């Protein structure tokens, strides 16, 4: 049991591990909401939540999931900042997040 104490300390002191991360279904639901109604605060928070998950997936060597989330983040930013230019842009990364994460 003593050998696990340093590990628990590191995990609990790291803010990424100390807070609850979004599940895949939450990411997908909130992403769809942002694509439909780009509310700055909610979408910005989602973007940073996805960034945390990306870091964890990278540490776990789950690069396909990390890249899929990065692609979805890119589409979210694009839809928010260029909403007037690309009204009917198709979202292509959601199936990759479903498959790879």
How many structural domains does the chain have?
A: 1
**Is residue 6 situated within a structural domain?**
no
pLDDT band at 24 (very low <50, low <70, confident <90, very high): confident
Q: Is the pLDDT of residue 45 over 60?
A: yes
The range of the structural domain enclosing residue 60 comes to 36-101
The reported pTM is: 0.70
**Is residue 92 situated within a structural domain?**
yes
What residues contact 86, with CB distance under 8 A and at least 6 apart? Answer: 78, 79
For residue 78, how far is the Cα from the chain centroid?
A: 15
- Which has the minimum average pLDDT: 2-11, 12-21, 89-98? 2-11
Q: Is the separation of the CB atoms in 50 and 72 below 8 Å?
A: yes
Question: 49-61: per-residue pLDDT in tens?
Answer: 999 998 899 999 9
**Is residue 15 situated within a structural domain?**
no
pLDDT band at 71 (very low <50, low <70, confident <90, very high): very high
What residues contact 18, with CB distance under 8 A and at least 6 apart? Answer: 11, 12
pLDDT band at 99 (very low <50, low <70, confident <90, very high): very high
**Is residue 77 situated within a structural domain?**
yes
> Which pLDDT score is estimated for 78?
83
């Amino acid at each position: 049991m003593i050998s696990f104490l340093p590990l628990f300390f590191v995990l609990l002191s790291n803010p990424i591990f100390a807070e609850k991360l979004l599940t895949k279904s939450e990411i997908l639901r909130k992403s769809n909401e942002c694509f439909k109604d780009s509310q700055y605060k909610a979408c910005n928070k989602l973007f940073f939540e996805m960034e945390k998950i990306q870091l964890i997936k990278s540490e776990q060597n789950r690069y396909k999931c990390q890249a899929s989330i990065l692609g979805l983040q890119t589409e979210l930013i694009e839809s928010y900042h260029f909403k007037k230019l690309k009204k009917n842009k198709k979202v292509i990364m959601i199936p990759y997040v479903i498959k790879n994460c």
